[in-house]
């Protein structure tokens, strides 16, 4: 699945982040706890150097608690990385972020000193709500649609912390096809840019393997099929998604499945595990190597053609 949605302001944001990241003391990356790997921004790893990073597992109340714990332990194996989990039920604990920033950059704590922290995250991850809670006032627009924040802004917090907010940003090319589907399923991409039936098919296949009991309970099915598309048709009939000729309206059922996943009415679900990340990273590296080898072969062929043409002209 190729992601085509990449508004112009995101390209500007990428350039601004590259420019100011070296000036920051701490990087705060807000992740979707349901897709901790797919919601990571590759720029953080590429540009942070040895700067400390706080990984915020947001929307943790929608995610599988056991997998959230595994992901936090996984992230903290990396030097200089700390992880925190937040959901709507733990909004009052958000101030722990300030304390952790000061702990990670003690040289910037004290009178007449200012700690600079950059906060970043993909669209619709809940970053603006988090910022408003940290600031204790409405300073960032919020909404259920991706890409509400479109410009960088600085927010002065208590305790001598200056927070640099950045627009919610995807990257021009999501190399891992699985991540593209997960980003679409959880709402990081505008619905107008996704094919509901493709995304629902991918989601159903994963849920049949990872959360079969939740599917049975939610869609009142005694037995589950092996095939994702058969499940969508069975669930569609249960939900009355039937059109002319007694055919299941698979588009309508696909919308229901995706919206119920996003709202956690199916249950607390996480769409990926640390083990999945490891194997998919290997897959992406292999695909990248293959693409580079093909490109090198094409360039070599061009050089040979030019050499033959020059020889023939003599």
Is 176 a known ligand-binding residue?
no
Is 166 a known ligand-binding residue?
no
Is 98 a known ligand-binding residue?
no
Is 59 a known ligand-binding residue?
yes
The tokens describing 100, both together, are: 């952790």
Rg (CA), the chain: 23
Give me the half-sphere count of Cα atoms (radius 13 Å) on the Cβ side of residue 231: 28
Is 125 a known ligand-binding residue?
yes
Is 168 a known ligand-binding residue?
yes
Distance CA 253, CA 218 (A): 13
Is 309 a known ligand-binding residue?
no
Contact in structure between 281 and 289 (CB atoms under 8 Å): no
The tokens describing 192, both together, are: 């107008």
Distance CA 260, CA 16 (A): 36
Is 61 a known ligand-binding residue?
yes
Is 60 a known ligand-binding residue?
yes
Distance CA 92, CA 230 (A): 43
In this structure, is the dihedral angle defined by the CA atoms of residues 179, 183, 185 and 189, taken in order, positive or negative? negative
Is 128 a known ligand-binding residue?
yes
Detail the residues annotated as belonging to a binding site for GTP.
Answer: 58-61, 124-129, 168
Detail the residues annotated as belonging to a binding site.
Answer: 58-61, 124-129, 168
């Amino acid at each position: 699945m190729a992601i085509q949605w990449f508004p112009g302001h995101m390209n500007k944001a990428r350039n601004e982040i590259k420019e100011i990241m070296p000036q920051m003391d701490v990087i705060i990356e807000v992740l979707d706890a349901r897709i901790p790997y797919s919601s990571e921004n590759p720029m953080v790893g590429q540009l942070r150097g040895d700067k400390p990073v706080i990984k915020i597992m947001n929307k943790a109340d929608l995610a599988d608690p056991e997998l959230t714990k595994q992901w936090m332990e996984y992230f903290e194996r990396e030097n200089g990385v700390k992880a925190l989990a937040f959901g709507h039920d733990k909004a009052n604990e958000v101030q722990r972020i300030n304390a952790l920033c000061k702990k990670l950059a003690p040289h910037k704590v004290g009178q007449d000193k200012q700690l600079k922290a950059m906060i970043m995250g993909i669209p619709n991850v809940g970053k603006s709500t988090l910022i408003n809670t940290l600031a204790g006032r409405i300073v960032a627009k919020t909404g259920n649609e991706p890409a509400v924040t479109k410009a960088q802004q600085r927010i002065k917090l208590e305790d001598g912390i200056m927070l640099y907010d950045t627009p919610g940003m995807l990257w021009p090319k999501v190399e891992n096809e699985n991540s593209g589907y997960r980003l679409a399923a959880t709402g990081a991409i505008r619905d107008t840019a996704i094919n509901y039936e493709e995304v629902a098919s991918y989601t159903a296949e994963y849920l049949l393997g990872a959360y079969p009991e939740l599917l049975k309970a939610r869609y009142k099915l005694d037995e589950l099929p092996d095939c994702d598309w058969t499940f969508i048709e069975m669930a569609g009939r249960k939900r009355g998604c039937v059109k002319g000729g007694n055919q299941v309206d698979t588009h309508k059922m696909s919308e229901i499945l995706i919206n119920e996943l996003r709202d956690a009415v199916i249950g607390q679900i996480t769409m990926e595990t640390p083990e999945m990340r490891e194997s998919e990273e290997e897959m992406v590296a292999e695909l990248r190597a293959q693409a580079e080898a093909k490109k090198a072969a094409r360039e070599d062929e061009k050089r040979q053609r030019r050499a033959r043409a020059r020889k023939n002209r003599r």
